[in-house]
Amino acid sequence: MELIAEQGIAALSVAEVARRAGVSTAAPYRHFVNKQALLIACAVAAANALGERMLQAQSELPRNEHGSVDPVEATAAAYTRFAAENGSGLDLISAPELQGAGDEDLLQAGRSVMDALLPSVLALTGQDARAALELLERQIAAAHGYGALLRSGFLSRRHPTLDDVADHAGAVARTLAREAQPTPQSSPPL
């Protein structure tokens, strides 16, 4: 993951991974058939860590009524923290090189991330899948953006800590969630 953060996915070489790990250049091939298999394993680890972090944030919330905005806010803050601390992991999770790889572990890891995200947004949108996916897209774009801007140093003056930035991402998610909630239909006048 350090190499990906430094060089990018395309520039990563298995030989450099081996060198940094202090093993022979053939050693990684005992565990991974090729570079893509190594990248998939890293993406799986990153996605599982992200999913676990978001579920942990939700589990630490006090129990609220069904359809609360709180889990969406907590998930966005957790995502932002992860993005700021593990940007290369997120780059790998969404890497075009791995899209359509068909690897079952990678698919399962992606499902675990969605399992951490979907229930709370479905509850907020009255089980409207289209509205839930739209809310997720907006929520993740904001959380990812906050994490990336913090990593780049852009937000360091205005928001000096990761907690500050995560709180702002959570506030954006809360606003988006409230806007996505269906409004009760008023009764027609008699």
pLDDT tens digit string along 75-92? 999 999 999 898 888 888
Domain boundaries, the chain: 2-180
Place of tokens 């979907």: 118
- Answer whether 21's CB lies under 8 Å from 27's CB: yes
pLDDT for 88 equals 84
* 117 Cα distance to chain centroid: 9
pLDDT for 186 equals 44
Average pLDDT estimate for 100-124: 90
The token duo for 47 is: 């996605």
Provide the pLDDT confidence category of residue 178 given band limits of 50, 70 and 90.
confident
Q: Which amino acid is at 189?
A: P
pLDDT for 76 equals 93
The token duo for 35 is: 């570079």
Looking at the chain, the whole-number percentage of residues with pLDDT higher than 90 is 42
* 190 Cα distance to chain centroid: 49
Rounded to two decimals, the pTM is 0.83
Place of tokens 């995200």: 117
Question: Which of 93, 99, 54 is CA-nearest to residue 77?
Answer: 54
In the predicted model, is pLDDT for residue 190 greater than 70? no
* Class of domain 2-180 (CATH, top level): mainly alpha
pLDDT tens track for 17-67: 899 989 999 998 899 999 899 999 999 999 999 999 999 999 888 765 545
Helix, strand or coil for residue 115? helix
Produce one character per residue of 105-129: b if its CB has 16 or more CB atoms within 10 Å, e if not. Answer: ebeebbebbeebbeebbbbbbeeee
Q: Which residues contact 123 (CB under 8 A, 6 or more apart)?
A: 66, 67, 68
- Answer whether 147's CB lies under 8 Å from 79's CB: yes
